[in-house]
A and B are shown apart, each in its own frame.
Chain A
């Protein structure tokens, strides 16, 4: 008992363990890579911007007939959600990298909060998503994107978009901590992210899809979230034939919030548990 006391009192003094503070240190560390290696940020922005331009140019003509008006207004909310979901796969990749390089060992041997490495990683990925969204909107506006909603609507849309990406970051963290190998995590990400974002209302209206596919697509959380954000950002967009009646789609907004809450409720504890039990 006496050894315990001496060791304890002479142990590191200072501010008490603080999960938030630890997570911020990790967030800072992860974001520093973008400061030190600017091409990393440049390339994580270029790809989504290419997507915007390619979709507008390639599908713009065909889609105009279907969604009426300008396709870019229909597309932008969808492509923003797709980008945040794609971006969130980097969470798992980053964790797998930290694992393979021994960082996670070091972090786990430190008296820091067990949640901090994961919270820090998902937060830094959210910050990156924010930057990417901002630049995409700018590029979108250059090619004709014209939001016609309200400021509170934009703010809510941004929060939903970031939170949705954040929820997917935790899914990705779970995959990263289970699969562990960097290349495998990368490969694994594409297999679920591609169908998830393409079998949604991100690029085409649900009504335009084969009938048998529609129920699946309608219940895809990506569809729900895209519909919510689209209705908040371009409430003026109406395509009566395709079930888009204009105005804010509150059921989609609530549906999306519920999805986000449910995903976070499942995957945060799951990922932290995996982190604790790493060997």
Chain B
């Protein structure tokens, strides 16, 4: 009954027809920390968020947020959560201020307080100058910020941000990151989903990698990178000789090498054996007549982690993960929502 974790998810499953969106998700998020739920489209990120935000009852398993069960205590839980979904749910015909006041009123704040909170949020987000403009005049980045702001007017203790920066230009994205950092420093507990590895790395205290409706790895960015084995060796060859190169390098390092989907790069986790492996790799490739175009040691990125963990690259598709895609990732989504703000 009692769990120390602020967000506690246990054995969560959810299917849509024969699509198994969640297949036993377990997660813990401590109060005041940020969990980044990282995964490709259709991995189950959105479904998880929707269950936590009381929008979707799970088939099995349970989830509690701040001690409230997402199904049984949904009504009370809604008072302390804020949700910013994938599409900015901002009314284009209302001004920025009106949008926020409306949400504040629906959190049951008294009129004056709702207005004050709305003004505070706008000020904090540097949007006071646009407060009285209708949201349809806003840029995509501003709408996202306003949407994030809407999730804050009700003094939410927990925020769920579903792909907060998908579709934003780099500058707006950096702006969102900054805002999210601020929220965290206020002690808000945050669960955000992302398909961008750098974003998870930048924003989260802990990362959970989700794929095919299951959490396949969990930890800090550093511990996840360690799973790849300290250092990695990148070998770039020209595409024509890619297959020969792979054959030549087979068995060189214990544990499978990871292959770049662009068919020109091979990444080997080398640990402390760097120089030896490198020399051997060069010898073998030379023997096979393969031209090396680049060769480099580097610290692993989360991309490498993803490749190592799942055997496929993280960013196969662009766009958002509509739930019913489930594990049908490789075939492309069965149903794609078209709009992207």
Instruction: Using CB atoms and an 8 Å cutoff, list the residues of chain A in contact with chain B.
Output: 1, 3-4, 7-8, 10-12, 14-18, 21-22, 25, 28-29, 32-33, 36-37, 100-103, 105-112, 116, 278-279
Bound: A199/B154 CA distance, A: 50
Interface residues of B (CB under 8 A from A): 1-2, 16, 50, 53-56, 66-68, 73, 75-76, 78-83, 85-89, 91, 93-94, 98, 102-103, 105-110, 113, 134, 150, 154-155, 157, 323, 337, 339
Q: How far is the CA of A29 from the CA of B75 in the complex (A)?
A: 23
User: Of all chain A residues, which has the CB nearest B6?
Assistant: A3
- Let me know if A102 and B87 touch, CB within 8 A: yes
Complex Cα–Cα for A21 and B102 (A): 11
19 residue pairs bridging A and B, Cβ less than 8 Å apart: A4-B68, A4-B73, A7-B68, A7-B80, A8-B76, A10-B157, A11-B80, A12-B80, A12-B107, A14-B108, A25-B105, A29-B102, A102-B87, A103-B89, A105-B85, A108-B54, A110-B154, A111-B154, A116-B106
Docked complex Cα distance between A16 and B109 (Å): 9
Nearest chain B CB to A92 CB, angstrom units: 19
Q: Are the C-beta atoms of B87 and A101 separated by less than 8 Å?
A: yes
Inter-chain CA distance A25–B105, complex, in Å, is 7
Q: Given A14-B108, A22-B106, A32-B93, does the pair A109, B79 have CB atoms closer than 8 Å? A: no
Q: A11-B76, A11-B79, A37-B93 are in contact. Are A107 and B87 (CB under 8 A)?
A: no
Query: How distant is the Cα of A190 from the Cα of B106 in the complex, in angstroms?
Result: 34
In the assembled complex, the Cα of A29 lies from the Cα of B91 at a distance in Å of 8
The answer on a CB contact under 8 Å between B2 and A110 is no
Out of A25, A29, A32, A109, name the residue touching B78 (CB < 8 Å): A109
User: Helix, strand, loop or mixed for chain B's interface?
Assistant: loop
Across the interface, do B80 and A106 meet the contact criterion of CB distance under 8 Å? no
Chain A, residue nearest B154 (CB): A12
Contacts of B86 in A (CB 8 A): 102
* A17-B102 in contact (CB<8A): no
Q: Which residues of A sit under 8 angstroms from B107, Cβ to Cβ?
A: 12, 14, 110-112
**A32 lies within 8 A of B98 (CB):** yes
Contacts A7-B157, A16-B108 aside, 12 further interface pairs with beta carbons under 8 A come to A11-B76, A11-B80, A15-B108, A33-B93, A101-B87, A102-B85, A103-B89, A108-B54, A109-B54, A109-B83, A110-B106, A112-B108
Answer whether A102 and B89 are a contact pair too, CB < 8 Å, given A3-B66, A7-B157: yes
Complex: how many Å from CA A101 to CA B56?
Answer: 17
A177 to B323 CA separation, bound complex (whole angstroms) = 18
Q: A11-B79, A36-B134, A111-B78 are in contact. Are A25 and B102 (CB under 8 A)?
A: yes
Contacts of A29 in B (CB 8 A): 91, 94, 102
CB distance from A150 to the nearest CB of B (A): 41
- Beta-carbon nearest neighbor of B109 in chain A: A14
| Neighbouring B residues of A12 by C-beta, 8 Å | 79-80, 107-109, 154-155
Whether A107 contacts B106 in the complex (CB less than 8 A), given A7-B67, A7-B157, A33-B93, comes out as: yes
- C-alpha gap A165/B153 in the complex (Å): 36
B98, A106: Cβ atoms under 8 Å? no
Tell me the minimal C-beta distance from A94 to chain B in angstroms. Answer: 12
Residues of A within 8 A of B68 (CB): 4, 7
A15 partner, pick from B110, B323, B337, B339, beta carbons under 8 A: B110
Interchain nearest-CB distance for A10 vs B (Å)? 7
Closest partner residue, chain B, to A35 (CB atom): B93
User: Taking A4-B68, A12-B79, A102-B85 as contacts, is the C-beta distance between A112 and B134 under 8 angstroms?
Assistant: no
A28: chain B residues at CB < 8 Å are 102
B67 contacts A3, CB within 8 Å?
A: yes
Instruction: Indicate if the CB atoms of B93 and A106 lie closer than 8 Å.
Output: no
If A12-B154, A101-B89, A102-B88 touch, whether A108 touches B55 (CB-CB below 8 Å) is yes
List A contacts of B53 (CB < 8 A). Answer: 105, 109
Chain A's closest residue to B47 (CB) is A279
Contact across chains for B91 and A103 when beta carbons are under 8 A apart: yes
Which residues of the partner chain B approach A107 to less than 8 Å between Cβ atoms? Answer: 106
Distance to closest chain A CB from B281 (angstroms): 49
Nearest Cβ on chain B to A133's Cβ, whole angstroms? 24
A106 surroundings in chain B (CB, below 8 A): 83, 85, 89, 103, 150
In the complex the two chains form, is A1's CB within 8 Å of B83's CB?
A: no
Roughly how many angstroms separate A107 CA and B105 CA in the complex, as a whole number?
A: 11
Residues of A within 8 A of B157 (CB): 7, 10-11
Question: Which residue in A4, A15, A16 is a CB contact (below 8 Å) of B67?
Answer: A4
Chain A residues within 8 Å of B110, by CB: 14-15
Tell me the minimal C-beta distance from A139 to chain B in angstroms.
27
Q: Which residues of A contact B154 (CB under 8 A)?
A: 12, 110-111
Contacts of B339 in A (CB 8 A): 100-101
**In the complex, chain B residues whose CB is within 8 Å of the CB of A33:** 93
Contact A279 B55 (CB under 8 A): yes
What residues of B have a CB within 8 angstroms of the CB of A32 in the complex? 91, 93-94, 98
The answer to whether B106 touches A25 (Cβ under 8 A) is yes
CA distance A18 to B73 in the complex (A): 18
CA distance A107 to B93 in the complex (A): 17
- Could you tell me the distance in whole angstroms from the C-beta of B161 to the nearest C-beta in chain A? 12
Q: Report whether B106 and A36 are in contact in the complex, using a CB–CB cutoff of 8 Å.
A: no
